[in-house]
């Protein structure tokens, strides 16, 4: 089981953005590869801290994590999914180290102290439609995705303008004296590389569009509008040292014909006839795992709610499943023949047909209160 992100950084859930950044910087410096050469344990802690910071520093991801925990990113996490390496960490968070390691993200064992930025390809977005049954059991979807990849036969060489650093230094004279600034190299776009040879099917960046089948594991309990991330399945970046972007998967849950979802619970409207309500019997109803038969007690009242435990949607965090709430509606016929009308005309003054609610027959407001408790 993955360790809690707040626990990794030694924080409480009420920690501010500044406290999160400060805690990550402290851990990252402590377990930095330059300070712990050939130390697998330190490298693992370094990656875990970066994974925690990647989520908690993003307000949207933090909100999803606070609500759903690790399950919000299951099957599609960035660092946790193995799609991010040391270059990823330093390309995204290198500036957080300040001058602790030479003022940049580079480090001895993973880049030789180079200041060159690792470029990341653009993200792709797709929408996946799910049924309520898919949501209830979790599902693996295989989707065809068009993405840019490096074309075979395309080679790169070190940029002659910046000598592979990805930056050019400019010195300007101002009234305050000579000022030196660094900016991305215009010749290579900051990658430090230029195309040497390009295959015929490649674009100006040495990339081509290809179609790939991507497997997406969607955990049980996801909700409509939720987004998952498949690391490294977006567009590739140009150059030898680029990092592929991510595939963002937007979840859309199709409406169900009979069931309505509310959190982890499901609601079902059951209609019974007057004879069924009076005499009792049994009914087959739809659930997300198939039909189930429920018993109708004699004298069933309209408005009663029958609760079927654990027949709802599995909790995304693994805390069991919700319930199926069956709302009973006694159907009153509107088109009766003379014989039927005569029978009810005789019965309308019968004491057995007079409403006699007792304490067990809850009011509408009490039923609503119970439903949400």
Residue 14 shares a structural domain with residue 114: yes
Interval 58-64 mean pLDDT: 86
Do 124 and 239 reside in the same domain of the chain? yes
Let me know whether 232 and 292 are in one domain.
Answer: no
d(Cα 65, Cα 356) in Å, to the nearest integer? Answer: 50
Q: Which residues contact 149 (CB under 8 A, 6 or more apart)?
A: 207, 208, 210, 235, 236
Closest CA to 347 of 274, 286, 283: 274
* 17 shares its domain with 27: yes
Compute CA distances 224 → 135, 253, 272, whole Å. 10, 5, 32
**Model pLDDT for residues 322-353, shown as the tens digit of each residue:** 999 999 999 988 888 999 889 888 888 888 78
Number of CB atoms found within 10 A of residue 271's CB? 12
**In this structure, are 136 and 250 located in the same domain?**
yes
Structure-model confidence comparison of residues 242 and 252, the more confident one: 252
The pLDDT value given to residue 71 = 76
User: What pLDDT band is residue 261 in, cutting at 50, 70 and 90?
Assistant: very high
Residue 320 CB contacts under 8 Å (≥ 6 apart), including other chains: 310, 314
- The reported pLDDT for the residue numbered 33 is 76
> Do 124 and 245 belong to one domain?
yes
End of a domain among 186, 219, 254?
Answer: 254
**What is the band of 361 on the pLDDT scale with cuts at 50, 70, 90?**
low
CATH of residue 103's domain is: 1.10.287.110
CA 163 to chain centre: 41
pLDDT at 194: 87
Residues 212 and 179 in one domain: no
CATH number of the domain to which 223 belongs: 2.60.260.20
| Sign of the C-alpha dihedral computed for residues 174, 178, 182 and 183 taken in this order | positive
pLDDT one-digit tens code per residue, 80-135: 434 455 555 655 565 555 444 444 444 433 433 344 456 788 999 999 999 999 99
Percent of the chain with pLDDT over 90: 39
Q: Are 83 and 159 in a shared domain?
A: no
What's residue 247's pLDDT?
Answer: 94
Strand partners, 189: none
Residue 154: pLDDT band (50, 70, 90) is confident
What is the tens place of the pLDDT at every residue in 160-213? 888 888 888 887 776 666 777 778 888 887 788 888 888 888 888 889 999 999
Shortest CA distance to 53 belongs to which of 98, 84, 74, 99?
84
What is the pLDDT at residue 349? Answer: 81
The residue that leads in pLDDT, 230 or 1, is 230
- Same domain for 240 and 311, yes or no, is no
- Same domain for 124 and 250, yes or no, is yes
CA atoms in the 13 A half-sphere facing the CB of 294: 25
1-51 tens-digit pLDDT: 678 899 999 999 889 999 999 999 888 888 887 777 778 888 888 888 888
3-class secondary structure, 314: strand
DSSP result, 234-290: SPPPSSTT-B---EEEEEEEPPPSSEEEETTEEEEEEEEEHHHHHH-EEEEEEETTE
* Number of independent structural domains in the chain: 4
pLDDT score for 99: 43
- Of 254, 277, 294, the last residue of a domain is 254
Bridge partners, 171 (sequence order): 180
Q: Which residues contact 186 (CB under 8 A, 6 or more apart)?
A: 161, 168
Do 184 and 167 form a contact (C-beta atoms < 8 A)? Answer: yes
> Domain limits at 29?
1-118
Q: What pLDDT is attached to residue 305? A: 92
Percent of the chain beyond pLDDT 70?
A: 82
Q: What is the mean pLDDT of the chain?
A: 82
HEC states along 214-236?
EEEEECCCCCCCCEEEECCCCCC
Residues 211, 337 within the same domain: no
Do 59 and 25 fall into the same domain? yes
Give CA–CA dist 257/132, Å, rounded: 10
Query: Residues 22-27: contacts with CB within 8 Å, 24+ apart?
Result: 24/49, 24/50, 24/52, 24/53, 24/57, 24/93, 24/96, 25/96, 25/97, 25/98
Q: pLDDT tens across 284-298, in order?
A: 998 998 899 999 999
**CB-based burial of residue 95 (10 Å sphere; 0-12 exposed, 13-18 middle, 19+ buried)?**
exposed
């Amino acid at each position: 089981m993955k360790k809690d992100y707040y626990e990794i950084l030694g924080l409480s859930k009420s920690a501010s953005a500044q406290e999160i950044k400060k805690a990550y910087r402290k851990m990252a410096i402590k377990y930095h590869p330059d300070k712990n050469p050939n130390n697998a344990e330190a490298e693992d802690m370094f990656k875990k801290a970066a994974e925690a910071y990647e989520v908690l520093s993003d307000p949207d991801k933090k909100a999803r994590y606070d609500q759903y925990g690790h399950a919000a990113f299951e099957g599609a996490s960035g660092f946790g999914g193995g799609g991010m390496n040391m270059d990823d960490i330093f390309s995204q968070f290198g500036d957080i180290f300040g001058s602790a390691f030479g003022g940049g993200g580079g480090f001895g064992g993973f880049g030789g102290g180079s200041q060159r930025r690792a470029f990341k390809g653009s993200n792709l977005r797709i929408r996946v439609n799910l049924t309520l049954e898919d949501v209830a059991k979790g599902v693996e979807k295989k989707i065809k995705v068009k993405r840019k990849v490096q074309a075979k036969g395309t080679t790169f060489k070190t940029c002659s303008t910046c000598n592979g650093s990805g930056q050019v230094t400019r010195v300007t004279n101002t009234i305050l004296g000579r000022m030196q600034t660094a900016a991305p190299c215009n010749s290579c776009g900051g990658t430090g590389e230029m195309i040497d040879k390009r295959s015929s099917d490649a674009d100006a960046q040495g990339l081509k569009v290809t179609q790939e089948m991507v497997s997406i594991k969607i955990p049980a309990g996801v909700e409509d509008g939720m987004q998952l991330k498949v690391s490294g399945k977006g567009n590739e970046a140009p150059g030898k040292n680029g990092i592929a972007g991510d595939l963002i998967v937007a979840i859309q849950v199709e409406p169900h014909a009979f069931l309505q979802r509310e959190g982890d619970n499901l609601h079902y409207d059951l209609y019974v006839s007057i004879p069924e309500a009076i005499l009792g019997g049994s009914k087959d109803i739809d659930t997300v795992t198939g039909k189930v038969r429920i018993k109708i007690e004699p004298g069933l009242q309209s408005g009663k709610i029958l609760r079927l435990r654990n027949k709802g949607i599995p909790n995304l965090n693994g805390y069991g499943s919700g319930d199926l709430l069956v709302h009973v509606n006694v159907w009153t016929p509107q088109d009766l023949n003379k014989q039927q009308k005569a029978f009810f005309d005789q019965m309308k003054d019968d004491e057995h047909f007079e409403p006699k609610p007792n304490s067990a027959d809850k009011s509408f407001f009490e039923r609503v209160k119970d439903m949400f408790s």
